[in-house]
Amino acid sequence: MCCSKVTKDQALEIIKRYEQVLAIISKYGKAKEQLLSILLDIQASSGENYVAEVWAEVVACQLDLPITKVHDVLTFYAMFNIEPRGQYVIEICKSTPCHVTKADAVVAMFEEVLGIKLGQTTPDNLFTLMHTSCVGACDIGPVAKIGDEVYGNLTPAKVAEIIASYRGVSLCQK
Ligand code: FES
């Protein structure tokens, strides 16, 4: 009797992903100076917007780098995630100036529209809701950041509009 908890389909998926990661590393010629680009491609192709530990180890091995170097990059740059995230990470500023302009209400607005709680990801893997510290737009607080875009003076209507626009973008990309 087989005691493995990994099904054949899961094993094939892991092999497929391993080959995909190797192809990304090869595309950049296994060059150490391409570490950021390699990790970004691995994250973008993960389907869950993050770099899993196992692939960080493969990168370290293939580039002949210490794993600590790869970890340093993954934890230093805000653009990298080491846990599964939605395609769009919504970061709501919780620093004091935004807090006094009702950042908590903004969290509640996004929770309402998305049907998830802070720290969670929507079932379609499109949005993750998180807190962040000051993003430098205190004059238009309360503020939320999605990728490089900063949205201020948020109201329930504006939040619904923002989410609809991202869902529209996503639909267009399919
Ligand atoms: S305190 Fe929120 S953007 Fe600065």
Mutating to test ligand 1, I would choose from 91, 92, 93 the residue with most ligand atoms within 8 A of its C-beta, which is 93
User: Is 138 annotated among the ligand-binding residues?
Assistant: yes
Residue predicted with more confidence, 139 or 3: 139
Could you state, in order of their start, the residue ranges of all structural domains in the chain? Answer: 8-76, 88-173
Task: Write down the CATH number for the domain with range 88-173.
Answer: 3.40.30.10
Per-residue model confidence as pLDDT tens digits over 130-153: 999 999 999 998 999 998 899 999
Q: How far is the CA of 134 from the centre of ligand 1 (A)?
A: 4
Residue 157 CB-density burial (10 A; 0-12 exposed, 13-18 middle, 19+ buried): exposed
The residue written with tokens 């209400």 in the block is: 105
Residues 36-63: what's their mean pLDDT? 96
Residues 8-27: what's their mean pLDDT? 94
What is the value of pTM for the model shown? Answer: 0.75
Q: How far is the CA of 143 from the centre of ligand 1 (A)?
A: 7
Q: How far is the CA of 83 from the centre of ligand 1 (A)?
A: 25
Per-residue model confidence as pLDDT tens digits over 95-111: 998 888 788 888 999 99
